[in-house]
Every structure is written in C-alpha cells, then in structure tokens.
Amino acid sequence: MTTTLPPAPARENDDGTAAPPALALRGVTRVFGAHTALDTVDLEIAAGEVHCVLGENGAGKSTLCNIVFGSLPPTTGEVLLDGERFAPSSPADALARGVAMVHQHFSLVPTLTVQENLLLGRGVRRLRPDRAGLAARLAAIAETLGLQVELDARAGDLSVGARQRVEIVKALLDDPAILLLDEPTAVLGPDEVDSLLATVRRVAAAGTAVVLVTHKLGEVMRVGDRATVLRGGRVAGSGPLAREGGAGTPGAPALTAADLVGLMVGREASSLDPVLAASVGVVPTAGPSHDGGPEAPARSGTPVPAQGPAQVPAPATGDPVLTVRGLTVDDADGARRVDAVDLEIRPGQIVGIAGVEGNGQSELVAALSGALPASAGTVLLDGVDVTHAGPRRRTALGLGVVPEDRHHEAVVTGLSVTTNLLLGRLHRFRRLGLLDRRAMRAAAADLTDRFDVRTASLDAPMSSLSGGNQQKAVLARELSLDPLRCVVAAQPTRGLDLGAVDDVVAHLRTAAARGVGVLVVSSELSELLVLCDRVHVAYRGALRGPVPTDAPDARDRVAHLMTGAPA
C-alpha cells in the first residue's frame, strides 16, 4: 500500500512481513445504558500510516478515542497493540504503553511556561524535573519532525496554533507508537491547518501510527492513507484513500471524497446543500492544497455562494436592527479585545464575521449579548441604545443570542429540556404563584416539534441530548423570541453533525427571510461564504472588510484579510 502514498520514505520497512498492526480493534462494542455508542467496530492501523476516522458527531469517534486512550473500557471486544492484548486502565497506563492523544480541547496550564507544561507529569518519581532529558528529546523532535516550541513562553500567551504544536510535542515526548488526534483542526486558521497537516505527515513518516479523528473531508483527503467511516457507532466503510496519480491497493477500491461523504451521511454527496458540503470540507477550507488536492465533488475554481439554493436576495431595506458604533471592549487586564468596531445590520441581512479564533470575536459577541461591558462606543438595537443594558432587556427588545460555548453559556446541562427552553420566560407560566408545568410542557413540545429537537423526553436533562439537538434547542429558544429583531449566532454549527448543520443554517435563513437581522460569527470561512450576504473579518479586535460574498474573488479577499494584510 505504501506505493500509493506521497513522500513517506521511512515507511518502506514494514512491508514483506506479516507484522501485526500497530493498533487493532476487534469487535469493540461500548454500551452506555440503552445507547450503543460503538457497535462491533473492527479497525486496524499500521505503523507509519495516517488513518483517518471520520464520522458525524455522535457517530462514536470520541468513544473510540476514549477506549484506545484508556478513559473508557470497552463493553465487549478487545484492543490489540502490536498484536498484544491491550486493556489500559487509565490514560497514564495508555501513555506508558505508547499511546498518546492530543485532545480537541487543549490541556496546557496557561500560567505555566511551555517548558513547565512539558515537564508536568513527567519524572514524578524524581526529585527534580528532568530538564536536560527534555531538551535532548526536544532536539530530537525538532530534528526529525521540524517541530519547534518556544520553551520560555507562557502557554497562555501562545497563539492557538502554537499551543497545539506544544500539545503535539508533549504527546510525542515519549515516542509513542500511536498518536491520536481528536479533531485537531477545529480551532485553527487556514495556515495553521496546513502546517498541522504537514506535521502529521512527518510524524507518520517517522514510523508512528497516526489516528486522525475529524469530520472534515478536505483534510482527510490531503493527509490520510486510509480512512474508516463511522456512522451510528458502526463502521460504515473503510479502505485506502484515493490519491491523484495513484490507484488504490489492488483489489480494494480506493475511497474518493464523494464516497466518504456518502458513507458519512448515508446519501449522495451531490445532493448536499453547499453549506453542508462546506462544513465537511469538501470545499477545501484553505487555498489550493499542496499535495494535489482532493477530487471533491463540489469543488470549483470560484467560491460557491451563487449556487446556494436558499440565497434569496436580502431585502436590505428598512432601518438597521443592529447598529454598532465604535464598540470597544477592554478586558480585566486592560488589554483591548474589541477595537472600535462598526457594524450595521438591516432586516433580512445575514452578515458574517470570519477570522481566526482569538481575534476578538468572542468578546464582540459577549459585548453584544450584554455579558461584557463596553468600554466605549454604542450598541443600538432597533434604534434603542442598549450599550449598558443587561441581557434581559436586550432579549426583551428582540435580540436572540446563540452563544459560542454551548455548555458554558447557552444551556444549563443539568436542567431539563423544558426548563432550558423556557427559562427566560418563566413568568408566562405562572398560575396562582406556582409554575404551570402542563402549559410549560405544551410550549416546550411545540418548540421541540417546530425545531425538530430530538429528545427522549421533555423532562430529560439537556446533557442527554446530542450536540446538534442541544444547538437546535438553543435556536428554538432564541428564534422563538417575541419580538425578534436580530440574532447573533456565534459558531452556530461548531461540532454539529451534518443534519444538524443543515437545520441550523435553514433556521437562520428562515429568520432572515422573516426580516430578522442575522449576525453569524464563525471560523468556518466556507460556511460564511455560502450563508452570508457579506463577510467581515475580525483581526486583532478590529473588523475589516466587509467583503460581499457575491464578489468572484470573495474567498481570496477574506483569506487575505485574515492574515492581517491590508485590504
């Protein structure tokens, strides 16, 4: 199989032998209560290959990672490491056996330096941290993989990409046989994605088996050797990936991007909405890829917005529903997070804010929702000054907010679905001073019905819902405000499966068609380009642009602005 691969010289060695795969899963099943997260999954990963595990959210990818990394035992089935039975009792155990994992959410201590972070948890049985050993190992990693880290920088001061590099170096310190990467590109900008993927290739070339868990096809097609697609906890299909200039392994058809999409969603790729296609990365999120680029079905030379079926020309008439003038937000340390932002959204418009994360988007949304105080500037909602108003008043004036961090701010995971849907309007369900539970349940049933929130029971805790259904519940709550003038949605499709992305996008479009102003903040540029009328770019707290999305070179212009280059 190695012949089909792009440069991977170090991998010629494992052929000709019947060496056991570096990692093998045999009939692994994991049951949570009544829910089967993984159903007799078989998987084999050879040393030196990049094996992509694809699937929508809830397909069982994370469970699989957790089983391999020792956080969860399988209910039945077994995991083999180099042909030996492997039943890690804890992540520490898995690490000791040579399985390392880079988590989706970073696990560096922000107040410590990079060196201290790397030393954490190492040599716990020594009196002093092994700085010399670390330096030697880092030098080796830098030489073989070209991965450099700034040892003396504070982890919290690093950019997201640099932090992730530290995470990867940390995982590589023990020279693992298997490296698990869980959705590593979720928070990266286009350039950082490129460099990450290059790193992944080099790590694999050095003989490590890399498991890349993702739901973005573009990345898979760029770095993957083989792919396994999970759907509903089962292996929907697996095989080597098709590459330009190389046939698949003889006897096994190579998977194309279109095949993968079909396996992931269970329907033809060409039937996908452009936004959906963008969200799986069928349209590459970064410019032309270096290793030839995938043969993606929706790929075309220019961005795809014009063919979006729901692109109704926005009736951009009427007074703006949201006017932001010179909005500035300083954080507690006095650092400027949002810098003199001007923004105007008229009824029916969908305006996007793109940008690499950490450029003030979160703070801007927080300031618009009333969670952060503005240091300067004004925010007018439907002509009313709400600069200093709390969330309650903004909601009353018709501002719906879909917060970025669902678990932190959007829902109370421990409370029931009903309560979460109606928490902001409990006063409407009072009867004789008590809550009218029946009326609440009826209202919640109506909302879950209209927004297709799938839940076992309205009294089930919010945490029992899948991410997509939680997000739909949030949308149900925010879009059913009365009055509703403007919706601010931060990363509304993050972490959602395709069906849910479809629904979320449709609901936002419907709202806009009703004359609601919509502001979408997202790090998924492709999504913004197909969804929005115009896209601003957040860069170091300021907004740049806007770039109208129907301009032929919109993608390039936005990508250009994201790098900080002058417009």
Partner 1 sequence: MTAPTSTTTAVVPTPGDDDGPAAPAPAAPAGPAWRDRLLDARPVLVPLAAVLGALAVSTGLAALAGATPAEAATALWEGMVGTPYAIGSSLNVAAVLLLVATGFLVAHRAGLVNVGGEGQIAVGAVAATAVGTSLPSTVAAAVALPLLLLAAAAGGAAWASIAAWLAVRRGVSEVITTLLLNFVGVAVLVLSIHEEALLRQPVTSSETLPQSSPLVDAAHLPLLGLPDSPATAAVVLALVGAVVGSVVLRRTATGVRLEAVGRSQPAARRLGVPVDRLRFSALTTAGATSGVAGGVLVASVPYVLDEGLASGYGFSGLVVGLLARGSFTAAVGIAAALGFLVSGGINLQLAAGVPASITQIAESLIILGVAGTAIWTVRRTTRTRRPWWRSRTTGRTAARPAPEVAP
Provide, rounded to whole angstroms, the least separation between the CB of residue 310 and partner 1: 28
Task: Tell me the one-letter amino acid at 250.
Answer: P
Provide, rounded to whole angstroms, the least separation between the CB of residue 415 and partner 1: 6
Q: Which of 426, 456, 460, 565 binds partner 1 (CB under 8 A)?
A: 426
For residues 284 to 323, the per-residue mask of contacts with partner 1, x marking binding by CB under 8 A and - elsewhere, is ----------------------------------------
Smaller CB separation from partner 1, 204 or 283: 204
Determine, following the binding rule CB under 8 A, whether residue 467 of this chain makes contact with partner 1: no
Segment interacting with partner 1, rule: CB under 8 A, options 128-136, 231-239, 305-313, 373-381 = 231-239
> Which residues inside 489-548 make contact with partner 1, applying CB under 8 A?
none
Smaller CB separation from partner 1, 234 or 336: 234
List the one residue out of 463, 378, 387 whose CA is nearest residue 420: 463
For residues 121 to 160, the per-residue mask of contacts with partner 1, x marking binding by CB under 8 A and - elsewhere, is ----------------------------------------
Q: Quote the CA–CA distance of 282 and 465 in Å, as a whole number.
A: 27
Segment interacting with partner 1, rule: CB under 8 A, options 96-104, 113-121, 448-456, 503-511 = 96-104
Total interface residues for partner 1 by CB under 8 A? 89
Query: Tokens 């932002």 identify what position?
Result: 341
Task: Tell me the one-letter amino acid at 409.
Answer: E
Determine, following the binding rule CB under 8 A, whether residue 16 of this chain makes contact with partner 1: yes
Smaller CB separation from partner 1, 310 or 442: 442
Smaller CB separation from partner 1, 22 or 102: 22
> Which residues inside 364-393 make contact with partner 1, applying CB under 8 A?
369, 371, 390-392
- Structure-token pair, residue 52: 């992509």
Q: Which of 82, 191, 344, 452 binds partner 1 (CB under 8 A)?
A: 82
Q: What one-character DSSP code corresponds to residue 112? A: S
- Structure-token pair, residue 497: 């499966």
Q: Which of 419, 448, 522, 549 binds partner 1 (CB under 8 A)?
A: 419
- Structure-token pair, residue 199: 């790193």
Strand order in the sheet with 84-86: 35-45, 23-32, 76-81, 84-86
Determine, following the binding rule CB under 8 A, whether residue 214 of this chain makes contact with partner 1: no
Determine, following the binding rule CB under 8 A, whether residue 412 of this chain makes contact with partner 1: yes
Q: Quote the CA–CA distance of 203 and 209 in Å, as a whole number.
A: 8
Task: Tell me the one-letter amino acid at 53.
Answer: V
Provide, rounded to whole angstroms, the least separation between the CB of residue 25 and partner 1: 10
> Which residues inside 251-290 make contact with partner 1, applying CB under 8 A?
251-253, 255, 259, 263
Smaller CB separation from partner 1, 395 or 491: 395
Provide, rounded to whole angstroms, the least separation between the CB of residue 178 and partner 1: 10
Residues 6+ apart with CB under 8 A from 383: 319, 323
Smaller CB separation from partner 1, 43 or 188: 43
- Structure-token pair, residue 71: 């956080």
Q: Quote the CA–CA distance of 71 and 73 in Å, as a whole number.
A: 7
Smaller CB separation from partner 1, 44 or 273: 44
* Greatest pairwise CA separation for the chain in angstroms: 80
**Contact assessment for residue 215 and residue 202, using Cβ atoms and an 8 Å cutoff:** no
List the one residue out of 354, 388, 347 whose CA is nearest residue 371: 388
Q: Quote the CA–CA distance of 132 and 238 in Å, as a whole number.
A: 43
Smaller CB separation from partner 1, 19 or 135: 19
> SS3 sequence, 458-469?
CCCEHHHCCHHH
Q: Which of 104, 113, 195, 249 binds partner 1 (CB under 8 A)?
A: 249
Smaller CB separation from partner 1, 71 or 113: 71
> SS3 sequence, 179-235?
EEEECCCCCCCHHHHHHHHHHHHHHHHCCCEEEEEECCHHHHHHHCCEEEEEECCEE
Smaller CB separation from partner 1, 17 or 567: 17
Q: Which of 6, 133, 237, 467 binds partner 1 (CB under 8 A)?
A: 237
List the one residue out of 443, 504, 444 whose CA is nearest residue 468: 504
Q: Quote the CA–CA distance of 176 and 16 in Å, as a whole number.
A: 23
Q: Which of 34, 332, 434, 567 binds partner 1 (CB under 8 A)?
A: 434
Cα 566 to chain centroid distance, Å, stands at 28
Smaller CB separation from partner 1, 429 or 539: 429
> Which residues inside 172-211 make contact with partner 1, applying CB under 8 A?
177, 206-208
Provide, rounded to whole angstroms, the least separation between the CB of residue 529 and partner 1: 29
List the one residue out of 79, 49, 50, 82 whose CA is nearest residue 64: 79
Smaller CB separation from partner 1, 286 or 453: 453
